[in-house]
Structure 1
Amino acid sequence: MEGSFMSMEVCQLYINPRDIRLLKQNVWSDDLVPGQLKWRNKKVEVDAVYRGAHIRKLTKKSYYIAYYKPKRLFGEQEWHLNAEYEDPSLMRNKLSLDFFSSIGVLSPRSEHVDLTLNARKQGVYLRLESVNEDFLLARNLPHGSIFYAVDADANFSLMSELDDDVKKSLDLGYETKVEVEGDMERLQEFIYKTNTLKRDEFENEVENYLDVDQYLRWLTGIVCTQNYDGFVQNYALYCHGESKRFYMIPWDYDATWGRDLTGKEMDPDYVRVEGFNTLTARLLDVERFRKQYAAILTEVLHHQFTVPYMEEKVRSLYTKIKPSVMNDPFLKERLDQFHKEPDFILDFIEKRRQVLLNEVGNLL
């Protein structure tokens, strides 16, 4: 299956109770605490901390894990353990990332695991590959910068989404994960040109900065899965080490497949086929890019984004995690909804697909 690691395993994390108290005293702190991890028959020293934004307030915490001794294991320096607590299916993030991979978009690998903390069961978690140097090495991609879009100012605009004013700097909204000299300046130059070039000038220059085909495939993925926040955050930018063109990488896709970030149901027509953000608007203003997007979207709507294609993936993943979900101490009151989610997701796919099939003609 796309984006999979090995079969579901047990991840045993040990943290001194004193350090757990420190984490709980300030859930917003990014200060790492020491711990030990038993994983795939290895016992290693790690650093750990809570991760995420609003999810840090939730009862079931998510974690960032960094290897300390050794610094690298199984080709990784770090990874993430997501509780997926507000997704009643616990599957949306993985389904989304695998879906992106299936349509030709660079996407993190993921797998569900059983987590214990100090030998106490914590339930089902999603282990997520970090988008860093190891991500590039695993895919034989040349070394290049990686910028995380950490808030809504990563909107490819000159205007701030957060304070409704002109941005003080065009690097707002981004956090540097891997840096190559000159790449942030190139990103700022790209954002400025996206907002100031005339249509014909933009059409002629944009492919010097952006892998347009990959971007349109990313746009197709986000429009199909309907991640409203994903247009201005929940992505990483990779600057290819040789071509110097930017690639979009999806991240944090639990608010998808018919539910928002709090788990509430979303109407299947909530996100328009044209998507959002300034860069998308500029690309779709160019006829040949708009037609290229329509062709990619139509292909996906007839192949990957269909109930027959997705049903086996949804039901097999549900079957795989079901025994562990049944024993998850945080999910005892939610089991009825969990069991209904495969049908809910498949129903959303059919309804969303019909919406997009009706709207794709507007692009032509």
Structure 2
Amino acid sequence: MKKNRNLLVVVFLFLTAAALVCLVGVLTVKDKEDSSLKIKKEKISYSKKNYHLADNEALYETQDNKSVETMYLTVRRGSDSENTNHSWSEINGLSVYDYEKMGVNRYKILGLLQVGNENGPQSGKLGYGEVVPNATVQVRGQTSSRNSQKNFKIEIKDGKGSWYGQKTINLNKHQTESLRFRNKLSYALLEKIPQVLSLRTQFVHLYVKDTTGDKPNEFVDYGLYTQVEQLNKAGMRAHNLDSSGQLYKVNFFEFMDENNVIKLTSDPDYDKEKFEEMLEIKGSSDHSKLIKLIKKVNDSSSSFYGILEKYFDIDNLSYWMAFQILMGNHDTQNRNMYLYSPLNSQRWYIIPWDNDASLFETEYEIKGFTGSSDWESGISNYWGNVLFRRALKTKEFRKALDNAIEDLRKNYLTDNRITELSNELAATVEPYITETPDSTYLGVSMANHEKILKALPSEVESNYQKYFESYQKPMPFFIATPEKTSDKLKLSWESAYDFNSEDITYTVEVSKKYDFSDTILKQENLKLTSINMDMLEEGQYFIRVKATNTSGKSQYAFDYYVADNLGKVSGVKSFYVNSDKTVSEDKYEE
């Protein structure tokens, strides 16, 4: 019995040990499974963030802010079929608005573009040894096309090579900005910011030989230009973007389609010309994704932050907006950007375009010109755009924007970085802006040029402070065109929004002068958004409306009047009372 008992003990111990081994094995396997699950979860979490854009950093490795490339452009008449049978004086003598009045496309001219140094075209570079045109040339830009010094768009013909892989060369003069490097400064800063794409830029010294003019054999010095990379299909590929995706250059678009022109190409009413007045088509011509986006952005029945998360990259959107706010680049509410979406993705991204209006406050002060309205600083600058307004109404996006503002100011748009980079660029452009032809159109003395240069870092700090202050004010609103009601004139305006939900009162004024030195009516502390006044006599009048919250912070209306030699007069709408007592809104072009 004892022997049997000992045997049973041995068997029991053996089975217990085996069980323990199995248990350890099971636990080990379980740990491995848990570990693999954790890894899998991390991969899933990471893949959700994999939608962020990543620029091709290698593109900027050879960029040198101190370098200036020399280009030689020989222009000559072409053919009517190519719209190139024009003289150089015709190309330079017309603005975009002239073409619109004539109802014709912008004129082009044939060009032979050659790249070299100050001694002439160089072997191995574009156009060397060629004698026939390799490109077409036209004036580019909108408002800038009115300037004496034009911007040019040079398109290299197929089979004629390229310049650093680019076949579209944008030469920007930036005549109305005295530093002549603001655009390059912005793109150089953007190169280091991972949430937003930049573009390649290059200073160019241009010489032009006009075979259609009175000096057909002479290259004339056209001064300094900034070349900015064209974001087309080739540009998309260069920046690791999907060239089969959607890409639109925003001309005037507030994420709504009031006139119903954003249509599919298959729609019988599709009008490409009207479409491109809002959005130039640079990528896929399948607009179904864009139409869906517009509907989603304007769908007030859905949680908007959910729409933002699903259809946008919030990091991209918040950093783009934060950069423009800190740089004071006001003209970005509804244009001067690209909209991009990769193929087979529902997500959209904003890519900056045209930054030459950045950090302009000191220059405007020196010139005695009001370049922007009061609301064009901080978040109120974006309040007129449906996408931006709805985003700003969500606390989650405001937090993301706060974080982006702080990060950019602390790490990318520091005083030292702005000073260092702007001084480097200023030293590069100085030999050109102090000589003709650029010195003729500089617009300020070199002493004031130095003041503007030194003020750039303080302007970034000022814009940083204005950002936080803008949350404390009511948001801007629109004034309606006054209308005749019986024997009275009805004045009305939209309600203003306040982030702190404070009560708002309004002050309305009517005057015969835009500076309100000849006031006809003034009413304050109005809680309603309309009043009636006695009918006015025939003539031009001005109405101004201001919203004030209970904290005493005020904001004028979106409307503004552009006065000669003064600039924008904030919160003012001009209108005419006609002889029959009807009222007409004053329309004007900037």
Same fold (TM over 0.5): yes
Residue of structure 2 aligned with 1:243, choices 345, 357, 368: 345
Identity in percent: 22
Match of 1:37 in 2: 113
Structure 2 unaligned residues grouped into runs of 5+: 1-56, 78-85, 97-104, 117-121, 128-133, 210-218, 263-274, 474-498, 501-590
Question: Which SS does the other structure have where 1:80 is aligned?
Answer: strand
Distance 1:260 1:191 in 2: 38
Cα gap change, 1:191 to 1:64, in 2 (>3 Å): same
Match of 1:60 in 2: 149
Distance 2:467 2:200 in 1: 27
Deviations 1:43-91 (A, max 9, x none): 4311110111121111111000100153541311212000100001111
Letter in structure 1 aligned against 2:452: E
Q: Does residue 134 of the first structure (1) align with residue 234 of the second (2)?
A: yes
Kindly report the root-mean-square deviation, in angstroms, between the aligned alpha carbons of the 2 structures.
Answer: 2.9
Cα gap change, 1:238 to 1:142, in 2 (>3 Å): same
Distance 1:197 1:356 in 2: 27
- 1:301–1:357 Cα contact (<8 Å) kept: no
Cα gap change, 1:169 to 1:135, in 2 (>3 Å): same
Residue of structure 2 aligned with 1:310, choices 418, 436, 450: 418
Structure 1 unaligned residues grouped into runs of 5+: 159-165
Question: Which SS does the other structure have where 1:229 is aligned?
Answer: coil
Distance 1:289 1:199 in 2: 16
Q: Does residue 120 of the first structure (1) align with residue 220 of the second (2)?
A: yes
Cα gap change, 1:296 to 1:274, in 2 (>3 Å): farther
Match of 1:162 in 2: none
Match of 2:202 in 1: 111
- 1:86–1:261 Cα contact (<8 Å) kept: no
Q: Does residue 342 of the first structure (1) align with residue 453 of the second (2)?
A: yes
Distance 2:465 2:308 in 1: 32
Higher RCO (CA-CA < 8 Å; seq separation 6+): 1
List, as ranges, runs of 4+ consecutive aligned residues in structure 1 with deviation greater than 6 Å.
Answer: 260-263, 360-364
CA positional deviation for 1:260: 10
Deviations 1:165-194 (A, max 9, x none): x3233456111112253xx22112211211
Larger fraction in helix: 1
Return the index of the structure with the highest Cα Rg. Answer: 2
Distance 2:199 2:362 in 1: 21
Residue of structure 2 aligned with 1:214, choices 313, 316, 320: 316
Cα gap change, 1:195 to 1:273, in 2 (>3 Å): same
Deviates more, 1:292-301 or 1:274-283: 274-283
Cα gap change, 1:101 to 1:266, in 2 (>3 Å): farther
CA positional deviation for 1:333: 6.2
- 2:432–2:438 Cα contact (<8 Å) kept: no
Deviations 1:266-310 (A, max 9, x none): 589841235412111111222222211211111112222221221
Aligned pairs for 1:182-331 within 5 A:
184-200=287-303, 202-259=304-361, 264=369, 270-273=376-379, 275-276=381-382, 277-331=385-439
Question: Which SS does the other structure have where 1:228 is aligned?
Answer: coil
Match of 1:175 in 2: 280
Question: Which SS does the other structure have where 2:240 is aligned?
Answer: coil
Deviates more, 1:247-256 or 1:35-44: 35-44
Cα gap change, 1:217 to 1:55, in 2 (>3 Å): same
- 2:419–2:456 Cα contact (<8 Å) kept: no
CA positional deviation for 1:265: 6.0
Q: Does residue 94 of the first structure (1) align with residue 166 of the second (2)?
A: no
Match of 1:163 in 2: none
Deviates more, 1:96-105 or 1:123-132: 96-105
Deviations 1:102-123 (A, max 9, x none): 3331122212111111111111
CA positional deviation for 1:130: 0.2
Cα gap change, 1:358 to 1:122, in 2 (>3 Å): same
Deviates more, 1:254-263 or 1:32-41: 254-263
Distance 2:170 2:241 in 1: 22
Distance 1:319 1:229 in 2: 27
